């Protein structure tokens, strides 16, 4: 099964890989899985020789790639707890969390 990066963008020379999540499959494990995906994609971008030319052509430094997960607002009775737990996990891996607004 193929996996695809949802978003890759950059701020000046710093690339960002962003994993997008929706409300579909629950907020606990599904959002945590997004953090894992973002970490793996960031690692791939930082270390893949196959992408080096693409980044170099655009004057973007793949070695400093950052990672984020964008998700809708947490809901339900455990919303505050879930968001706090996800922020803590993401922080351990240097992943930013971004809440999507309607």
d(CA 95, CA 82): 16
pTM to 2 decimal places: 0.85
Positive or negative, the Cα torsion across 97, 29, 40, 92?
Answer: positive
CA distances from 19 to 5, 57, 92 (A): 7, 24, 17
Residue bearing the bigger pLDDT, 76 or 8:
8
Residue range 7-49, pLDDT digits in tens: 999 999 999 999 988 766 565 666 778 899 999 999 999 998 8
Residue range 40-68, pLDDT digits in tens: 999 999 998 888 999 999 999 999 999 99
d(CA 96, CA 67): 6
Q: How confident is the model at residue 78 (pLDDT cuts 50, 70, 90)?
A: confident
């Amino acid at each position: 099964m193929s996996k695809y990066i949802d978003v890759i963008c950059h701020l000046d020379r710093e690339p960002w890989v962003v994993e997008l999540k929706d409300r579909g499959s629950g907020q606990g494990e599904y959002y945590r899985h997004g953090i894992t995906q973002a970490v793996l994609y960031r690692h791939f971008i930082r270390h893949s020789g196959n992408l080096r030319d693409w980044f170099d052509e655009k004057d973007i430094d793949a070695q400093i790639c950052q990672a984020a997960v964008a998700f809708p607002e947490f809901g339900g009775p455990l919303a505050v707890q879930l968001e706090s737990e996800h922020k803590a996990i993401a922080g351990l891996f240097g992943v930013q969390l971004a809440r999507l607004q309607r």
